[in-house]
Amino acid sequence: MAKEAIEILVLYDGHCALCNGFVKIIIKLDRKKKFHFAALQSSIGKASLGLNQIDEAQDSIVLIYKKKVFQYDNAAFKIAQILGFPANLICIGKILPKTTTRKMYNWVAAHRYRWFGKYDVCPMPSAENKDRFL
């Protein structure tokens, strides 16, 4: 049987504790198991950035959904929207000006290692979720 095409791919900073926590939340809320993941530092992550003409220096979350690319706060909002309730409640933040949500996203991203920690090596996924990581 042919493997189904991956429709939803989340690229994340595999060294970031906050990003890894975000991935764990997505996995918990993704009852249909549609989301797949790759660390930005992985060969798949780097190739996905290149194929989608995204700067390889990207260190924030990237969502590739139905061949469209979402980055930064746009990625977070789209992920929440796809997950549905209760995650989609964060989309209330879209009432704020785009410049405000981007500044907030960038501010947290700039401090994430200091506030949440950093892994020397990307953590391995659990055995039950291993097939969702590329």
Residue 109 forms part of a structural domain: yes
**pLDDT values of the chain reduced to their tens digit, one per residue, 134 residues:** 345 678 899 999 999 999 999 999 999 999 899 999 999 988 888 888 877 777 776 778 999 999 899 999 999 999 999 999 988 888 888 899 999 999 999 899 999 999 999 988 778 888 888 889 98
Q: C-alpha distances in angstroms, 39 versus 55, 86, 94, 133?
A: 15, 25, 27, 8
Residue span of the structural domain in which 28 resides = 8-119
Task: Dig out the tokens for 133 from the structure.
Answer: 């990581």
Residue 128 forms part of a structural domain: no
Residue 45 forms part of a structural domain: yes
Report how far residue 7's alpha carbon sits from residue 82's, in angstroms, rounded to the nearest whole number: 12
Report how far residue 69's alpha carbon sits from residue 48's, in angstroms, rounded to the nearest whole number: 10
Report how far residue 83's alpha carbon sits from residue 54's, in angstroms, rounded to the nearest whole number: 24
Residue 1 forms part of a structural domain: no
Residue 131 forms part of a structural domain: no
Report how far residue 78's alpha carbon sits from residue 68's, in angstroms, rounded to the nearest whole number: 11
